[in-house]
Amino acid sequence: MLSATPTSTEAVREPRPALLLQIGIVASYAGVAILRPALPANLAYVDPVIAAVSLVSLLAMAKAGSPATRAGARALPWLWLILVGSFLSLFTVGITGWAIADLVRTNFAVLTFFCFWHLMTVAKLERYAIWGTAIGLGVTSIALLVQPFRYRGKAFFEHPNYAGHYCVMAAFLLFFAGKRWYFQVLAVFGLAMAVWQTGSFGAIAMALAMVAYLVVRSASRNTAVLAVGLIVFAIGVLFLASPGGDSVSTGNGSWQVSGSLSSDRLDKSQGSRYEVWSDAWGAFAKEPLGVGPDGVHQRQIAIHLGHPLEIHNDALGYLVERGVLGLIGFIGFWVVVWKASRRGGLARMLIVGALVQGMFRETFHYRHMWLIIAVAFVIDGRRDDADAEAAELDESGEPELAQPSA
């Protein structure tokens, strides 16, 4: 007679998530690194996959809650405030296609954050996100290394800065969340490519900010050796990752690491941003309700060398384009996300990097940024669960082993 009682192996075995979900998570995290060539309306080939996974997550949210749903509920009033500011800003220009496209793009990116966070939490899918990120970073790093370019490499992104930002976030995630040595090797390689080939000062600032976060966290845990190692690593990447032995030069207060990473380009980059910010601030003084989502670019408010540019700063962008209400909503949303993250956790490190990159470009709508932060939240949540289980075991009063008599 067969026993109805499961064996010990069967009792602890958890159901595997559906194969299509596994594939969807891997494809989403790998696909955000391949944005060119693009579909019409500037959509990426990975967007339908992300939308499908998000839909599955929304259906799951209707049945069960999670830390993601609770954080989403707290963030919702701030998102509504952003929307109110956005539509108020359209009073002067009307409902335009470019403004609606910007709203859809931004809200879609934020929605994926909560959806992927929820789905990976309840279905234990974070390992597939790590593998997808490894694939995306590997493809991007190799493309940066082998693709010909005239000035700065951009792999399969629209702009070199986008590629640099992605590589830094993906590299830090893999370095600290990957459980295999080859994830760490890939992370170091990807970070070197981000600095060397893209020449993105925003990416460099992100890396330094996250290293600084780790230094502060390490100092609080009395792990000075790790802190020193991270500082040395950052210095080595920033100043020694050059294509030739004689590429680093100084003279007359100038320096050069490569053709795209030099004091001259830094001065030009800073000067163009100051010019754009000044033009945008002047537009805000004339239209305090805002110039509309993506209005700085679409209405050609900031012109540099004959080209209309974005505002190149998230916070200033929300103020100028969505007014004071939009800026308050933007700040409130980030406060909610920060409070929902684990103190000293991986997510907070990546949030620091995201906030720093937002000082140099408009990044709030980046797909890859929100997807990478989402998996960091899941990993931190697993650690919180493990800590809670350990605390319960300590409080359960388990008998200690008898000590041998002398």
Which of the four pLDDT bands, split at 50, 70 and 90, describes residue 12? very low
**Which domain covers residue 143, as residue numbers?**
17-224+333-381
Predicted confidence at residue 5, as pLDDT, reads 43
In a domain, 262, yes or no: no
Statement: residue 173 has pLDDT above 50? yes
In a domain, 304, yes or no: no
Instruction: Quick: pLDDT tens for 206-220.
Output: 999 999 898 888 766
Statement: residue 271 has pLDDT above 50? yes
Helix axes 367-395, 346-357, angle to 10 degrees: 160
In a domain, 259, yes or no: no
Confirm if 350 and 214 have CB atoms less than 8 A apart. Answer: no
- Three-state DSSP at 63 gives coil
**CA angle at 48 for the pair 134 and 100, rounded to the nearest 5°:** 115
Instruction: Quick: pLDDT tens for 68-105.
Output: 999 999 999 999 999 999 999 998 788 899 999 999 99
In a domain, 255, yes or no: no
Predicted confidence at residue 7, as pLDDT, reads 46
Which of the four pLDDT bands, split at 50, 70 and 90, describes residue 227? low
Label the pairing between strands 254-258 and 261-262.
antiparallel
Token pair listed for 142 = 């190799």
In a domain, 339, yes or no: yes
In a domain, 276, yes or no: no
Average pLDDT over residues 301-318: 85
Token pair listed for 104 = 């859809």
Confirm if 187 and 137 have CB atoms less than 8 A apart. Answer: yes
In a domain, 346, yes or no: yes
243 vs 63, higher pLDDT: 63
Number of domains in the chain: 1
Q: Can you tell me the distance from the alpha carbon of 100 to that of 293, in angstroms, rounded to the nearest whole number?
A: 8
In a domain, 132, yes or no: yes
- Three-state DSSP at 137 gives helix
Average per-residue pLDDT for the chain: 84
| CA distances for 365 relative to 112, 113, 304, 370, angstroms | 11, 11, 23, 8
Which of the four pLDDT bands, split at 50, 70 and 90, describes residue 360? confident
Statement: residue 240 has pLDDT above 80? no
